Amino acid sequence: MKIVEGSRSNYFLIALLLTVPLLAAAWQVDLPGKWGIPRDSAVYYAMAESLAWDYDLRYTREDLIRITKEWPGGPQGVLLVADDRHPEIIHYAKPVLYPLMAAPFVRIFGTNGLLILNAICFGLILYCGFIYFFGNGQPAGAGIVWTTIFWGLSVFTAYIFSLTPIFSTAAMSWPVYCPG
């Protein structure tokens, strides 16, 4: 199906309008003051911080000092691995794509940069959902309503405030479904 000219910009505008409140919340929430930083969240946060400030994925004393300034309890359950050739060098043991995408946001917004990236990815998911419905012959209004209900009113939305790659992974897979 061919997308009507100009409709993508309308869908983008609607997705943006639905995403702006989430962006505002992601920017304003005091995450270190509200929750601890356990397990996977600690790893992804530490990796994004390390990439943003040190431009590497080594776990160093500076990383730990930087993390404990924002999260006084420090990271808990960080997965690390020693370098095979240089055992004194320790690296993070998680996939790198999400922290790599988040690093510029972390550099600008601190911890909230991860949340802002999640909100942006959520907006992309909404946009692609709108395009998917319209490209499959569904009325434009139905695509907007069903996509918003499916993604916006599910538990999935709560994960915007999680420091994990759920949204970036979903956002990277959804463009496959965007026709045209």
Tokens 């969240």 sit on residue: 41
Average pLDDT over residues 102-118: 91
DSSP state of 150: I
Average pLDDT over residues 23-46: 76
Give me the pLDDT at residue 1, please.
41
Give me the pLDDT at residue 177, please.
65
Domain range summary for the chain, segments of one domain joined by +: 7-177
Which band of pLDDT confidence, cut at 50, 70 and 90, is reported for residue 13? confident
Closest CA to 108 of 168, 32, 53, 179: 53
Q: Whole-model pTM?
A: 0.80
Give me the pLDDT at residue 142, please.
77
Average pLDDT over residues 56-77: 86
Mean pLDDT, all residues of the chain: 81
Average pLDDT over residues 32-58: 84
Q: Is the pLDDT of residue 111 over 90?
A: no
Average pLDDT over residues 78-102: 91
Average pLDDT over residues 153-173: 80
Average pLDDT over residues 30-53: 81
Give me the pLDDT at residue 5, please.
43
- Residue 36 dihedral angles phi and psi, to the nearest 5°: -80, -175
**Separation between Cα atoms, residue 64 and residue 101, nearest integer Å:** 21
